[in-house]
Structure 1
């Protein structure tokens, strides 16, 4: 709950237009509510996802991210497996801190919605904070907030177009 609407819907639309299969996962099943009123049906639990079956994971931001995602061990494990398999990983807004807490930003350039807690997470995760809308370092793409959602989605689709399925 409390995801930032356009940080989910903009990449979701871009992926659909590119012909990608989309699965929405969270810490609980049911309907997730966005901060601006959007809803999303959660298809599966994060704990049920298998990195071997995924080409990309995008961690959506919003006020719910620190509460539900920043310290989620299942999500951290999944992200580490994806990184080990050289899969595409994206995070927008406050969720850049999820990647940092998981250890996948160690030595990487990244951006985040810049508040003290998220900046501390990047620093603690040994990431180099870059004050830009979208930052790509290898297969990891981060964005700083809802205004960056279109550019973030475009960067994700471009990187995914390089994946051999």
Structure 2
């Protein structure tokens, strides 16, 4: 099993990446990291993570799940990234597990995956508006799993988010 984890090149939330990545490893699930460009990405708290590939080079058929990490960089770099939107649409059409945490569920909304689905997000006027525009039914809880779509609202939900992804992949 293999997951594609997407992070922003700057200001991603380290714990939203590191906690799930560690839990995936412990569950025997491989992951690869993608960003706007391959190379070093810088977290909001000074962490550095290498992106193995650029989002545009990722092939949905090579992965069992897509996990999009949040942080302020998600709104700066990922919300409007056309390559990520297209990739997210492909994961959605394939029925594969597609997950996003913190500010990243907006990517799922923009790709049309949240229409008629329950979802959560880091709450702000902008995120709530964008989820509503994407047709989501906003739920104010830490983690929401609506069939194959998993969303989480905050870095503190990182472990539950990862557990839910692992559960969906292994059942």
Scaled to the shorter chain, the TM-score interval is over 0.9
Specify the SS of the correspondent of 1:40: strand
Deviation at 1:112, TM superposition (A): 0.1
Equivalent in 51, 59, 62 of residue 60 of structure 2: 51
User: Which structure 2 residues correspond to residues 1-165 of structure 1 after superposition, within 5 A?
Assistant: 1-162=10-171
Looking at structure 2, the residues matched to 29 and 81 of structure 1 have their Cα atoms a distance apart, in angstroms, of 21
Which structure has greater strand proportion?
2
1:76, CA displacement in angstroms?
0.9
Q: Deviations over 1:83-111 (max 9, x none)?
A: 11110011000001111011111110000
TM-score computed with the length of structure 2 as normaliser: 0.93
Q: Which runs of 5+ in 1 are unaligned?
A: none
Question: Residues of 1 paired with 2:47 and 2:24: CA distance?
Answer: 18
**Structure 1, 149-158 or 28-37: larger mean CA deviation:** 28-37
Counterparts of 2:139 and 2:147, CA distance in 1: 15
The number of aligned residues is 162
Where does structure 2 lack aligned partners over 5 or more consecutive residues?
A: 1-9
Offset of residue 72 of structure 1: 0.9
C-alpha separation in 1, matches of 2:138 and 2:158: 18
Question: 1:73, CA displacement in angstroms?
Answer: 1.0
Output the aligned Cα RMSD.
0.7
Q: CA deviation at 1:30?
A: 1.3
